Amino acid sequence: MIDLPHPLQVAIPDPLFLERLQAFLEKTLNEIQSFSERENKPFDETRRYVAEWHCAYLFGPESQSESRVSKGDRRKYIHSVLSETSRTFESLHSLSGNHSFFLTVDPADAENNGFLGGTVLGREFWRGIRGGGHAGAKNFRLHCLKKAEMVNTITALQNSNSTDGETLTLGAAATALSKRGPASSLKAEVYANVRDALRTASGIRTAEMKWSNHDRLSTHDVRLVGWPPSIPQQNPSAMTAAQNKLLLEALADGSMRFEKIGAHKQLVEEVGQDDVGIRGAVPSQQTADISWAYDRGQQSGTGTPQTRPGPSNETPPRWQREQAGPSRQAQQHRHQYMRQISPSLSDDIADPASYLLAYDMECINDLTPEFSPLNLQPSVGMDMLDISSNSQESEGVAARHELLNPEDRSSKKRRLDEGDG
């Protein structure tokens, strides 16, 4: 493989000849400009077409230029252009610090090992990586030959089937190539076509086929559909020629294909979310909290009414509370004992806390000794607060915590019964 530096062995022509050639080219440019004006075309566009035409003469296929340019001269022209391109990359590195390398091969020239250009670090990287160097250039040339042969086959078959209006796909072209190739070429076609189909479906350029375990394709977010049941899951190198042909035919007609499983998961999730949304559209029942209606000020006749916001965090105005008067629960609490308000404390209560009136503890803490001296004594387990008072104004004021321990229910019931007696 050709590498830099690339010294050019070019003979220096006669200076007088170059002078006459320069005058001739300037005359030719004037004629091209006159032609552009007659054709109503920009001069630069016409000049670019002329340059492309001349480059096609210099670098075209040998079948078009062998009578005018020898094979050695053609290599020399291509070599000079690639060398100049490599120097351009080196100049770019000196200006911006970017490293680069490029590799070119001529698929039609088996004697040409390719050209490696770019910066020194980039070329050393290519020669040092696995699969690079001369072996990489050779594999690249064979890959180009294979693709060129496939393209030529597609073109030939499309021309032969143009009267029928048939469209030839890449899989059909691979099948046509496999029918006339040896067994090794057939296996290589199976490897290449299945890998290309997998990478196209998954969108991952480095995806590899899991021949022995198709379930592992889920790592690429795809699944294989339509694998022939008569063919075991193994590498094409272990299959027969008939099995490899069957795989190519199944891949060509679409019966075997790769499908994206991410879209299926997304659809299932969307359907599940819709179902949950329908089933979850039942309005939630909020527990009514009427403890704000308990007005200590109206019971005692003094002080500022204490209120507790409800679930909506909205407290009714004072005039509404005064007009409505004490709540029904507050009236019952004024004339009855705790046992008459609360349900029976038997063991069969499922949720005793749901039957309690959760009064705000501020109603009790705000009572001053001058107003109502209270004796607060916590009961067993610290889950209930017994309030006893000698004042007539505070008679019936009691508070309980919402937590009741099952083991203390019997003792609480007995204590309440003794208080009633």
Predicted pLDDT at 256 = 92
- How do residues 248-281 score in pLDDT, each as one tens digit? 889 888 899 999 886 555 554 555 555 444 444 4
289 falls in which pLDDT band (50, 70, 90)? low
Domain spanning 169-265: CATH 3.90.1460: yes
Q: Is 379 exposed, middle or buried (0-12, 13-18, 19+ CB in 10 A)?
A: middle
- How do residues 178-231 score in pLDDT, each as one tens digit? 454 566 778 888 888 899 899 988 888 888 999 999 999 999 899 999 999 999
Report whether 376 contacts 387 (CB < 8 A).
yes
- How do residues 121-148 score in pLDDT, each as one tens digit? 999 999 988 888 888 888 888 888 887 7
Asked if pLDDT for residue 6 goes beyond 60, the answer is no
Burial call 67-88: b when 16+ CB within 10 Å, e when fewer:
eebeeeebbbbbeeebbeebee
Predicted pLDDT at 397 = 44
Mean pLDDT, the chain, rounded, equals 69
Predicted pLDDT at 237 = 87
Asked if pLDDT for residue 99 goes beyond 90, the answer is yes
Query: Can you say how many angstroms the Cα of residue 383 is from the centroid of all Cα atoms in its chain?
Result: 53
> Domain boundaries in the chain?
2-139, 169-265, 291-420
What's the Cα-to-Cα distance from 390 to each of 50, 269, 393, rounded to whole Å? 118, 66, 9
